A and B are shown apart, each in its own frame.
Chain A
């Protein structure tokens, strides 16, 4: 099995994929609009502008059953129709490219490898919803993504795919590439909007939802990079074509990021419905050093923790929901048998303590107390009462945090306390070798 770490290394890309979104990544020169156009680029936009009404574009997306790829899986067409139906002539499309979920780098692969696809998706979203202005809010550390998107936008503008009267259709749409300032919370759509407005990145009260009152209080669609990158193919080939890929409730493909103790790490794209065990074995080349797999973090550190026994579950929204899981950000972080679950959870707890925006008590103070309790346990000073305290804190954060950050922060902690109780108890008993702390 290849061991390259590069996700754009053509030679080592695992087979068995269906690369709808990543098709040109690593194939065309991302800085050449001509190569994009030669690969049917902007054909979907031309088709929509010349032969489809905005409502028809939304109808195709509806038929495709595309769901948002940012983590929550909200049906894209419903969001778009919501914005399209709002009154007012100023509307916005925002691409959430603040990819901050640990272990996740799929959006980066798209933006670095095929930036025009995202821009084309944005223009189509603008056309469908009646927005003439778009923003791509890119994670600040993604300097190459930002540079390539900026060049792509300039080239698209020069070729008449952005700007006034696109392709002579009368449709105006332009976009700006914005650089995030380094806060995980800005991946939450309303905090992202606040950030664009120049404010502190904190979630807003909902309702109103962004489709009603978003950026500058105007109707706004916020979509993930991968979601938008799916749009050109759907418009070009039709919703029915897309719907035939994947499984019921989870149509199309999903880009996953293979990480952790695997022989091959990188991004892969496969139709929904394959079991995780298969992805890990066939795409990831199995566990490093022939070790046993202890578990998998799926969907990022706000996602879920699956045991080796749960890995035959098909990866789709419905099947995963049955085991309190979901595809989330698309991160698949494999943990081999030498990993300490307590150590992993501690690491995640520190991440959330650092990234909580501080707005609400349960998340701000809860994450801090979780870090302190785990620290106490790891020092060998913990008790069963502390495990109960962790469970209560996690429950309270899920129940009363203001936004999804705080609600999902304790996911993996809580699952580890259920699924890997033995490791926590070994830690309590000071059995260092068992808990590997």
Chain B
């Protein structure tokens, strides 16, 4: 322990602590801007400075380690003055239209200037000369005007995700965050995970909003608008209404969506159960027939694009299953539209997702299974193609619509999902947390392979926030080795093992975002390690309290197979529920000579 004095009071702090950590520990608040615990500590903004006795200049508390006998002052005239000047310098280079900024009440810069008591910006405004908005991506929008060059986005993209789709260009006053060759996020090796949105202190990074399109669809009397909600949304959306994390607000969420005017409020959990039926069967088939192993889950679209860019050689390892979002769109516009007697072209499928990569996924050209289903039956031309999912809203966008509609979310009653596509099991709910898909798959695979009921449904080894979790499961004498990774940097480690032929696993779950979907890039700005943990616990609580906890027990899924799909990996499944991947490479031209890879499916049909 080191003995230090902070504002003339003695404290003991562990060796290796930064001044900022020491001060926080001592209950002293130091304003920060570019610093973000666990993500970014590079000292670029110059806001967290303090006085250290004997130092020539003020010191950045976020990157300066404490030393024995250090005497720190956090509230002197010089400290306050420097913090103000540096913040004012940033404000001079930032728009001041906060009232109409998407980030508004969640803006760290706005909060900081308020905390520091900045009344006016006395420097000449410099922000007008910045680059245009980058709207090349279907998932994200980057507004360089609002960027304060803190570099948190670059850090999270490089360190957590090992993607580095963005970096610094230019220097001095011309410094900017940009993509390779300024080609835009839509043309970069960006996975669309949106973690940069979560860490951006201003409104420089946001999802590409689809709210207007959804309102328009709701207002169109000709359209049957059905909404599906991903498992992770229900445990996070309340935070946008000031509610404490750690609870599932499923009932209020359903009530709110119904009041927004959606014709049917359904659950992506239903197709999560369906995913388990298909994916579990695919795994068993690969194991039995010597298919490509390890098999890797395919429900996290950021991860899919990452693999297509960085590991185009291992795409055969990816499960061919579409994600639950896409399975839902395909089932809704075929089976359900038929049942309802609705022209699939008049059905609008809206997803509410904790994710912005889902926006990209929904727009993949191959995600039009329902169109192909109807093309022959209705004699449609290729030009009349429609996507299985029409609009994807992030959790944040959904909350904005609820606010716009004047709904008092916390006061809403609890309501139930519509049926049939609102039926789900606990196995589907846990899809929202890292390890959940694996656990759900194991619950089903075990019972299908062994024909025995599981004594305990909880596979605790695959739960929790460790970056890579592994387990071994005895499947009627076969030792099934599984691994679970969240964040793309952890996924990369497992992928490198596969690429090098050293992977010991049979089955791998990959989730793009830290903590899984509950920590997705479309979640409320309250997302951090603490809230991630609380949302995960809410997910497991929800699962534990449900009467049905195994996907194969979902009665509507059973009916769906009976009435429509026939069997997992059957002909209809192949066309509606399975997909193929695209070799993208990292640089334009990397895989230009190769067309889309229609990978060998592990099943026969």
- A interface with B by C-beta (< 8 Å): 183, 185, 200, 202, 205, 207, 353-362, 364-369, 372-373, 376, 389, 392-393, 396, 398-402, 407
Q: Are A360 and B45 in contact (CB under 8 A)?
A: yes
Q: What is the CA–CA distance of A150 and B48 in the complex, to the nearest angstrom? A: 46
Q: What is the CA–CA distance of A358 and B150 in the complex, to the nearest angstrom? A: 10
Q: Which chain B residues lie closer than 8 Å to A359 at the CB level? A: 42, 44, 175
Q: A-facing mask of B243-270, CB < 8 A → 1, else 0?
A: 0000000000000000000000000000
Q: A-facing mask of B56-99, CB < 8 A → 1, else 0?
A: 01101001010000000000001001100110011011000000
Which of B57, B63, B90, B122 lies in contact with A361, CB distance below 8 A? B90
B149 at the A/B interface (Cβ < 8 Å)?
A: yes
Q: Are A364 and B43 in contact (CB under 8 A)?
A: no
Q: Are B82 and A360 in contact (CB under 8 A)?
A: no
Q: What is the CA–CA distance of A396 and B77 in the complex, to the nearest angstrom? A: 12
Smallest CB gap from B173: residue in A = A368
Smallest CB gap from A402: residue in B = B43
Within 8 A of A (CB), among B132-180: 148-149, 167-168, 170-175
Q: Which chain A residues lie closer than 8 Å to B172 at the CB level? A: 353-358, 364, 367-368
Q: Which chain B residues lie closer than 8 Å to A354 at the CB level? A: 171-172
* Chain A interface SS verdict (over half): helix
7 sample A-B contacts, Cβ–Cβ < 8 Å, listed by A number: A207-B65, A358-B168, A364-B149, A392-B85, A399-B49, A400-B49, A400-B58
Q: What is the CA–CA distance of A402 and B42 in the complex, to the nearest angstrom? A: 10
Q: Are A360 and B46 in contact (CB under 8 A)?
A: yes
Min CB distance A10 to B, Å, is: 41
Min CB distance B553 to A, Å, is: 54
Q: Which chain A residues lie closer than 8 Å to B92 at the CB level? A: 365, 369
Q: Are A358 and B89 in contact (CB under 8 A)?
A: no
B37 at the A/B interface (Cβ < 8 Å)?
A: no
B123 at the A/B interface (Cβ < 8 Å)?
A: yes
Q: What is the CA–CA distance of A372 and B173 in the complex, to the nearest angstrom? A: 12
Q: What is the CA–CA distance of A200 and B65 in the complex, to the nearest angstrom? A: 25
Q: Are B86 and A205 in contact (CB under 8 A)?
A: no
Q: Which chain A residues lie closer than 8 Å to B46 at the CB level? A: 360-362, 400-402
Within 8 A of A (CB), among B115-138: 122-124, 126
Q: Are B85 and A364 in contact (CB under 8 A)?
A: no
Q: Which chain A residues lie closer than 8 Å to B65 at the CB level? A: 207
Q: What is the CA–CA distance of A369 and B124 in the complex, to the nearest angstrom? A: 7
Q: Are B126 and A365 in contact (CB under 8 A)?
A: yes
Q: What is the CA–CA distance of A407 and B82 in the complex, to the nearest angstrom? A: 13
Q: Are B124 and A399 in contact (CB under 8 A)?
A: no
Within 8 A of A (CB), among B200-216: none
Q: Which chain A residues lie closer than 8 Å to B63 at the CB level? A: 205
Q: What is the CA–CA distance of A266 and B244 in the complex, to the nearest angstrom? A: 71
Q: Are A399 and B89 in contact (CB under 8 A)?
A: no
Smallest CB gap from B174: residue in A = A358
Q: What is the CA–CA distance of A202 and B149 in the complex, to the nearest angstrom? A: 14
Given A353-B173, A367-B173, verify A360-B124 contact (CB < 8 Å).
Answer: no
Min CB distance A346 to B, Å, is: 15
Q: A-facing mask of B29-61, CB < 8 A → 1, else 0?
A: 000000000000011111101000000011010
Given A357-B171, A360-B45, verify A365-B82 contact (CB < 8 Å).
Answer: no
**What are the 6 A-B residue pairs with the smallest beta carbon separation, nearest first?**
A358-B175, A365-B89, A356-B172, A368-B173, A400-B46, A396-B85
Which of A185, A362, A365, A407 lies in contact with B93, CB distance below 8 A? A365
Q: Are A399 and B173 in contact (CB under 8 A)?
A: no
Q: Are B149 and A358 in contact (CB under 8 A)?
A: yes
Q: Which chain A residues lie closer than 8 Å to B42 at the CB level? A: 205, 359
